[in-house]
Chain A
Amino acid sequence: MNNDKYLKYSLQDFLDDDAFIKWVSGKEQDPVAAQFWSEYPVLYPAAAANFEFAVTVIRSYRSQEFWDNKDSKARVLERITATIAIQDARPVRMRWLNNWMRAAAVALVISAGVYMIVNHYFRPQMEQIATGYGEMRTVTLPDHSTVTLNASSAISFNEEWSDKKAREVWIEGEAYFDVKHINRTGPGQQFIVHSNGISIEVLGTSFNVRSRHGRTKVGLITGKIKVDYNKDRSLVMLPGDYVEYANNQLSVTRKLDKPEKIKRWTEIQLTFTDATLGEIIETLQDNYGYTVKVADASLRKLMIEGDINVTNVEELLTVITTTLNVKIDQPSKKELVITSGK
């Protein structure tokens, strides 16, 4: 990669360079190539201005809306499945068939459809999905309910859901649920989330579960859920309710002013309301894998009043150092040392 042509790269040269374009649009998977481009301004200072100019303009353009149209994803697939099932079974010259044959053809259409569905959906297996540090993922469950997993979290569920059994999922870490209400009686209507000693029973609703360090926090946004704990105890939650479960007891119960705020992390990566430094540190350790040393334990109690909404850790650290009287040192990439005073 070390090449004299880069010494005097013009703006046009950058825009023409396939390798540069691939990197700047985040498509470069080769770490060596990616490193070359990130070190470019240092390696070729004479062309650094053009480089940064190209990066700035392309980045501005790339911040456009991405229309994923997720809501229709399952519906369009169902249509595709149906069309294919009918096409695969369509007899070539229907009008020559007598009535009896017609009935047979119809049966064929149906069984072909059933075969495909059977082939696709009815292979019982445990599905397990986990996210790493700083990673977030939305998972669609077999009933088309969706779960957004926060960083370092995991979900497992049976790949096959029948209407004879309750819909069940197991959660570690933090997850936001948007559960489909199924209009039928029987156990298949039940939706149960198991997390660290408690079970949450749901009827078509959206809520947030956070289970970290032996503590499980459940916040309800819409609908109604029942929390079962300690085998025989239970509590019905209404929208805005927020409970915390730790050491075999349901410890805190409070009403949230704006319940939808607890799912803000699904949209922005880092979000806090009236957070203490201790809470922020916990998130940095759990979701981003940082090791944080605090010089004086009382610093953890410092609070940043109001809302913080940032997209990355660096911005978060800037917010902390500009609002609190603390200094943050970063001896290595994933290590932070917080001391009081500037």
Chain B
Amino acid sequence: MQSESHVLWWNAFKQGDWDAFTALYGEFYELLNNYGRKFTRDEDLIHDVVHDLFVRIWTTRQRLGQPVSVKNYLYKAFRSTLFRKIQSLSRFVELDGEGGGFTVNFIPDASFRQEEQELRKQVIEMVNTLPARQQEIIFLRFYEGMSYEEISVIMDINMSSTYKLLYKALDNLQKASNKQTWLLIGCLFFLLKNFSKKIPIPEG
């Protein structure tokens, strides 16, 4: 998963190369914003966290190590900076429950078949009923495509807790899913089987 250019940029940036630093910023800005958005809808807060994170890695660049994955390193650092900021903010203002939340938004897209459209909506709504940490692990696992090990590093928990947390989330999902969802999946299934050549592999 570690891309070669990430390693090159990281090494050059540690030597004080400003272009490599802005290249890293350019590469990860959107991903970090998307990740941050799941925790809070406060755009300014997300901007502040991105700002603090990049200022910090620049000023401490000589002391930084060689992460296994630059992306995961930045996710972890971004997450802990965001949590610290949310915590210090919540001492002063009520964050209307956003402090420990996690939300994924559904976007209707007319190019999907109606059954698919309905399934997408239901799956995302179902995941949104889970507690924040279970939602986050689902996001890291199935959206970011991370391994158990990578998730345990980012969420700062040990491997067995990572497995347990994901199992718990999947178990809750199974309980939450109603008959209609399974019927939909079954129906879609049939469709997909018949047009199996048409399954576009999700990218990203």
- Judged by DSSP, the binding face of B is helix
Q: Which residues of A contact B145 (CB under 8 A)?
A: 21-22, 24-27
Q: Which residues of A contact B192 (CB under 8 A)?
A: 52, 56
Which of B5-13, B54-62, B73-81, B84-92 lies at the interface with chain A? Answer: B54-62
List CB contacts (< 8 Å) of A36-91 with chain B. Answer: 38, 41, 49, 52-53, 55-70, 72-73, 75-77, 79-80, 83-84, 87-88
Q: Which residues of B contact A25 (CB under 8 A)?
A: 142-145, 202, 204
List CB contacts (< 8 Å) of B127-158 with chain A. Answer: 127, 138, 141-148
- Encode A265-309 as 1/0 by CB contact (under 8 A) with B: 000100000000000000000000000000000000000000001
Contact of A68 among B34, B43, B50 (CB under 8 A): B34
Q: Which residues of A contact B199 (CB under 8 A)?
A: 52, 55, 59
Task: Tell me if A232 counts as interface (CB < 8 A to partner B).
Answer: no
Task: Tell me if B46 counts as interface (CB < 8 A to partner A).
Answer: yes
Contact of B116 among A60, A68, A79, A120 (CB under 8 A): A60
Q: How far is the CA of A63 from the CA of B160 in the complex (A)?
A: 29
Given contacts A25-B142, A61-B142, contact A120 B188 (CB under 8 A): no
Task: Tell me if A4 counts as interface (CB < 8 A to partner B).
Answer: no
Task: Tell me if B47 counts as interface (CB < 8 A to partner A).
Answer: yes
Q: How far is the CA of A60 from the CA of B146 in the complex (A)?
A: 17
**In the complex, number of A-B residue pairs with CB atoms less than 8 Å apart:** 150
Task: Tell me if A314 counts as interface (CB < 8 A to partner B).
Answer: yes
Q: Which residues of A contact B124 (CB under 8 A)?
A: 60-61, 64
Is the pair A60, B110 in contact by a Cβ cutoff of 8 Å?
Answer: no
Q: How far is the CA of A312 from the CA of B202 in the complex (A)?
A: 13
List CB contacts (< 8 Å) of A314-337 with chain B. Answer: 314-315
With an 8 Å Cβ cutoff, the count of chain A residues facing the other chain is: 53
CB-CB nearest in chain B for A27:
B145
Is the pair A53, B189 in contact by a Cβ cutoff of 8 Å?
Answer: yes
- Encode B178-201 as 1/0 by CB contact (under 8 A) with A: 000000010011001100101111
Is the pair A80, B203 in contact by a Cβ cutoff of 8 Å?
Answer: no
Is the pair A80, B54 in contact by a Cβ cutoff of 8 Å?
Answer: yes
Q: Which residues of A contact B202 (CB under 8 A)?
A: 24-26, 58-59, 62-63
Is the pair B25, A57 in contact by a Cβ cutoff of 8 Å?
Answer: no
Task: Tell me if B30 counts as interface (CB < 8 A to partner A).
Answer: yes
Given contacts A26-B145, A52-B192, A69-B30, contact A62 B19 (CB under 8 A): no
Given contacts A24-B201, A314-B198, 8 further A-B contacts (CB under 8 A): A52-B196, A56-B189, A60-B116, A62-B204, A87-B55, A120-B18, A120-B19, A310-B111
Please name 17 pairs of A and B residues whose Cβ atoms are closer than 8 Å in the assembled complex, sorted by A. Answer: A22-B1, A23-B201, A24-B145, A24-B201, A26-B202, A27-B1, A57-B185, A59-B199, A59-B202, A62-B143, A65-B105, A68-B30, A77-B29, A84-B55, A84-B59, A120-B19, A311-B200
